């Protein structure tokens, strides 16, 4: 590329860099601030003196979390949910994406299935009937209520299906002539070739399960069985209780709530995501773009 | 030679072997789909029949078959309720705001990022700006409540600048802009991915010839980069049409409070409160059904447009 080295172009380049750094900083600012709040003293936090550096450094909130059995209980339930729900999601996604990636001449009923699946993605009976079905099945208060209703992530199925479709026909034909059946072709050709796509979907699935708070609110009544995000949600004031509070009372409430401790809890809840994110994120661009936009 | 010929079956037999094989393969496909379809049937298709409740005076103890029919009275009640109109407007305003800002910011950001030649710098910026997308609204809601509270960081800055403190989370003037801006903040990095991919597809020769003609970087952006992104912009724009009634339940639920119901309450949060807190099952289902039907129509239209004008098909 030919670039002029005039003063103007250098200046604009500098301006662009500066803008980008500013935007990036803004993306991180709330997180950095929360970290600093969690390791500052409560008095400094309540006085509004904590921005992007710790004030009166202390780690007592983390020490407090270590002893908090309710927090760790919720944490473990979330881990259980991710492992169990993630495994079910991945298996079902692969099992459904493969047959759906076949052409009609290979699999006559393909389009019928496809229409049903897309319809369930676009239309739903709403939250009340959904809740009733789950409660009629007796799933309320069990881990299965968090795992089974979302067992088929339809969007991911379509993503993977489009990726499978892009795999060269020749590979499959060679295996076919060698006498490999669908299961062998799936296990020995499609899955190994689709690792980047599968990594992307895995990231979606893990994050989805880890971040979901809402089904914990309505499907789990027993507070010893709620997942972590629901636990955190309950920490920050039950909103229905706020109905009768005045503005002054709301402010008062914010004062007495333990901001330092809650910040620390929120940060600990982010650790699992921050641990897997760097490993799976590099496949992201590949996975999303290839799966979403079909030529 | 003669021996080898006997092992090869005649043509007709080969065809029937192939046919058998195909039938066997198809059976395998059906079996592969079975577990997923059962799950979808139970948790997606069965609840669809629950929309019958919208036309009943549903009483849980009597069940769907025992409850009395109410015709369209749930719907007429909805249209008479003054709140309903407000909630519909709130949903539209918030969703459209998010769509517009959420379309513009990633485009601008992708253009800026495209000017950076240093690969390490570029990829580390990308990694950082994606991050908020992967955090839950519970976590972000708590953080944002802290930052935007009356004695929070933002208000401290405002005071430093000599401005007055603002009750962002309790003010009906500020709540909607806050929702729109924070949602864009969370998602713009992730939205950039598709545009950056579109940019890499632009032929570098175009830039070279433009530079020969004396076009500077600004002119190159205007006449090559932006037109190159145009198909992607059109595609994402049309597809977002289907989301006009999705103002984002998780975000609103984690940020709102009764003080801002007037401007912040959306269809989804209203249905949640009516249906699962106040236990007005039939009424909540009626509103939910209304939303589902309108959304469904909008999504179908947007996909039709996308496939017509941008050649996009999801399957």
Give the ipTM of the model, two decimals please. 0.89
What are the tokens at B160?
């430093």
The answer for A 14-73 residues in CB contact with B (under 8 A) is 16-17, 19-20, 23-24, 26-28, 30-31, 33-34, 37, 48, 51
The top-scoring range by mean pLDDT among A85-94, A167-176, B48-57, B125-134 is A85-94
Separation of alpha carbons B64 and A78, rounded Å: 34
First vs last Cα of chain B: how many Å apart?
49
3-state SS class at B67:
coil
Separation of alpha carbons B39 and A151, rounded Å: 7
pLDDT band with cut points at 50, 70 and 90 for residue B79: confident
Put simply, whether B264 touches A (Cβ < 8 Å) is no
CB neighbours of residue B311 within 10 Å = 12
Q: Which residues of B touch A240 (CB under 8 A)?
A: 277
Please tell me the predicted confidence (pLDDT) of residue A215: 94
More confident of the two residues A172 and A140: A140
Query: If you average pLDDT over every residue of chain A, what do you get?
Result: 87
Please tell me the predicted confidence (pLDDT) of residue A181: 87
A295, pLDDT greater than 80? no
Per-residue 3-state assignment (H helix, E strand, C coil) for A13-44: HHHHHHHHHHHHHHHHHHHHHHHHHHCCCHHH
Q: Which residues of A touch B207 (CB under 8 A)?
A: 1
Mean pLDDT of B80-97: 93
A240, pLDDT greater than 90? no
Tell me which chain A residue has its CA closest to the CA of residue B269: A127
Put simply, whether B157 touches A (Cβ < 8 Å) is no
Put simply, whether B210 touches A (Cβ < 8 Å) is no
What are the tokens at B246?
């999705």
B314, pLDDT greater than 90? no
Please tell me the predicted confidence (pLDDT) of residue B313: 75
Separation of alpha carbons A202 and B43, rounded Å: 22
A71, pLDDT greater than 90? yes
Cβ–Cβ below 8 Å for B128 and A27: yes
Put simply, whether A104 touches B (Cβ < 8 Å) is no
Residue with tokens 């601030």: A33
Mean pLDDT of A285-292: 58
Helix crossing, A69-100 with A110-122: angle to 10°? 140
* Of A289, A204, A122, A165, the residue nearest B235 (C-alpha): A289
Mean pLDDT of B108-126: 91
Residue with tokens 């270590």: A66
Cβ–Cβ below 8 Å for A126 and B125: no
A244, pLDDT greater than 90? no
Q: Which residues of A touch B296 (CB under 8 A)?
A: 122-123
A280, pLDDT greater than 60? yes
B28, pLDDT greater than 50? yes
The top-scoring range by mean pLDDT among A154-163, A271-280, B54-63, B194-203 is A154-163
- B223-250, pLDDT tens digit by residue? 999 998 998 898 888 889 889 999 999 9
The answer for A 180-219 residues in CB contact with B (under 8 A) is 181-183, 203, 207, 210-214, 218
Q: Which residues of B touch A148 (CB under 8 A)?
A: 39, 42-43
Interface test with A, best of B18, B30, B40 (most A CBs within 10 A): B40
CB neighbours of residue B25 within 10 Å = 19
B2, pLDDT greater than 60? no
3-state SS class at A1:
coil
Under the phi-then-psi rule, with left for phi > 0, alpha for psi from -120 to 50, and beta for the rest, what region is A235? Answer: alpha
Cβ–Cβ below 8 Å for B113 and A20: yes
Please tell me the predicted confidence (pLDDT) of residue B152: 86
Contact A266, A274 (CB under 8 A): no
- Shortest distance between the Cα of B82 and any Cα of chain A, in A, equals 20
Separation of alpha carbons A50 and B122, rounded Å: 30
Per-residue 3-state assignment (H helix, E strand, C coil) for B114-148: HCCCCHHHHHHHHHHHHHHHHCCHHHHHHHHHHHH
Mean pLDDT of A276-290: 74
The top-scoring range by mean pLDDT among A86-90, A107-111, B9-13, B308-312 is A86-90
pLDDT band with cut points at 50, 70 and 90 for residue B197: confident
Nearest CB neighbour to B147, from listed A23, A30, A114: A30
- B123-174, pLDDT tens digit by residue? 899 989 989 999 999 999 999 998 998 888 899 889 999 999 999 999 999 9
A225, pLDDT greater than 60? yes
pLDDT band with cut points at 50, 70 and 90 for residue A290: low
pLDDT band with cut points at 50, 70 and 90 for residue A284: confident
Looking at the DSSP assignment, which residues form a beta bridge with residue B228? Answer: none
Residue with tokens 């076919």: A176
Cβ–Cβ below 8 Å for B142 and A266: yes
Separation of alpha carbons A228 and B268, rounded Å: 23
Separation of alpha carbons A228 and B197, rounded Å: 35
- Predicted structure pTM score: 0.89
Put simply, whether B146 touches A (Cβ < 8 Å) is yes
Separation of alpha carbons B142 and A43, rounded Å: 19
Please tell me the predicted confidence (pLDDT) of residue B310: 75
A292, pLDDT greater than 50? no
DSSP assignment letter at B10: P
Separation of alpha carbons A35 and A29, rounded Å: 10
* Of A74, A12, A128, the residue nearest B274 (C-alpha): A128
Q: Residue A182: enclosing H or E segment and its boundaries?
A: helix A182-185
Lowest-pLDDT range of A9-18, A20-29, B173-182: A9-18
B15, pLDDT greater than 90? no
Put simply, whether A92 touches B (Cβ < 8 Å) is yes
Nearest CB neighbour to B47, from listed A95, A125, A157: A125
A276, pLDDT greater than 70? yes
What are the tokens at A136?
């009629």
Separation of alpha carbons B160 and B269, rounded Å: 36
Contact B142, A232 (CB under 8 A): yes
Per-residue 3-state assignment (H helix, E strand, C coil) for B13-51: HHHHHHHHHHHHHHHHHHHHHHHHHHHHHHHHHHHHHHH
Contact A203, A280 (CB under 8 A): yes
Under the phi-then-psi rule, with left for phi > 0, alpha for psi from -120 to 50, and beta for the rest, what region is A39? Answer: alpha
Please tell me the predicted confidence (pLDDT) of residue A291: 45
Please tell me the predicted confidence (pLDDT) of residue A239: 44
């Amino acid at each position: 590329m030919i670039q002029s080295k005039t003063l103007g172009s250098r200046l604009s380049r500098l301006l662009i860099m500066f803008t980008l750094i500013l935007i990036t900083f803004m993306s991180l600012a709330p997180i950095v601030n929360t970290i600093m709040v969690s390791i500052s003293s409560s008095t400094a936090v309540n006085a509004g003196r904590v921005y992007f550096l710790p004030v009166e450094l202390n780690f007592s909130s983390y020490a407090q979390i270590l002893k908090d059995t309710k927090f760790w209980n919720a944490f473990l339930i979330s881990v259980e949910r991710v492992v169990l729900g993630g495994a079910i999601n991945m298996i079902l996604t692969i099992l459904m994406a493969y047959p759906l990636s076949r052409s009609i001449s290979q699999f006559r009923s393909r389009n019928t299935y496809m229409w049903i699946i897309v319809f369930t993605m676009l239309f739903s009976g709403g939250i009340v009937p959904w809740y009733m079905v789950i409660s009629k099945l007796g799933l309320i208060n069990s881990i299965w209520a968090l795992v089974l209703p979302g067992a088929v992530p339809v969007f991911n199925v379509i993503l993977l299906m489009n990726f499978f479709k892009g795999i060269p026909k020749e590979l499959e034909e060679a295996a076919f002539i060698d006498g490999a059946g669908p299961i062998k072709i799936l296990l020995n050709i499609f899955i190994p070739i689709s690792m980047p796509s599968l990594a992307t979907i895995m990231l979606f699935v893990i994050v989805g399960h880890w971040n979901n708070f809402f089904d914990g609110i309505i499907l789990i009544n027993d507070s010893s069985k709620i997942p972590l995000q629901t636990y955190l949600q309950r920490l920050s004031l039950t909103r229905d209780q706020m109905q009768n509070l005045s503005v002054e009372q709301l402010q008062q409430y914010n004062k007495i709530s333990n901001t330092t401790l809650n910040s620390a809890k929120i940060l600990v809840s982010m650790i699992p995501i921050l641990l897997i994110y760097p490993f799976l994120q590099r496949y992201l661009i590949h996975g999303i773009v290839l799966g979403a936009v079909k030529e | 030679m003669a021996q080898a010929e006997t092992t090869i079956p005649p043509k007709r037999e080969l065809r029937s072997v192939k046919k058998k094989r195909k039938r066997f393969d198809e059976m395998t496909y059906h079996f592969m789909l079975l577990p997923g379809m059962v799950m979808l049937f139970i948790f997606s298709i069965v609840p669809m029949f629950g929309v019958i409740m919208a036309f009943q005076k549903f009483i849980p103890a009597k069940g769907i078959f025992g409850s009395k029919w109410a015709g369209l009275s749930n719907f007429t009640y909805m249209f008479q309720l003054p709140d309903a109109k407000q909630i519909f407007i709130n949903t539209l305003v918030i969703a459209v705001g998010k769509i517009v800002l959420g379309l513009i910011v990633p485009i601008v950001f992708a253009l800026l990022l495209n000017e950076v030649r240093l690969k390490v710098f570029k990829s580390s910026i990308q990694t950082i700006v994606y991050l908020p997308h992967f955090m839950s609204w519970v976590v972000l809601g708590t953080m944002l409540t802290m930052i935007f509270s009356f004695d929070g960081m933002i208000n401290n800055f405002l005071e430093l600048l000599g401005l007055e403190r603002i009750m962002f989370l309790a003010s009906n003037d500020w709540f909607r802009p806050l929702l729109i801006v924070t949602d864009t903040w969370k998602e713009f990095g992730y939205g950039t991915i598709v545009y950056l991919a579109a940019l890499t597809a632009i032929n570098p020769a175009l830039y070279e010839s433009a530079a020969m003609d004396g076009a500077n970087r600004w002119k190159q952006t205007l006449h090559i980069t932006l037109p190159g992104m145009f198909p992607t912009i059109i595609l994402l724009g049309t597809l977002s049409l289907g989301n006009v009634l999705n103002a984002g339940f998780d975000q609103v639920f984690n940020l709102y409070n009764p003080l801002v119901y007037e401007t912040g309450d959306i269809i989804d949060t209203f249905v949640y409160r009516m249906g699962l807190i106040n236990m007005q099952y039939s009424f909540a289902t009626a509103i939910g059904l209304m939303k589902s039907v309108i959304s469904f129509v909008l999504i179908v239209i947007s996909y039709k447009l996308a496939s017509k004008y941008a050649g996009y098909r999801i399957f």
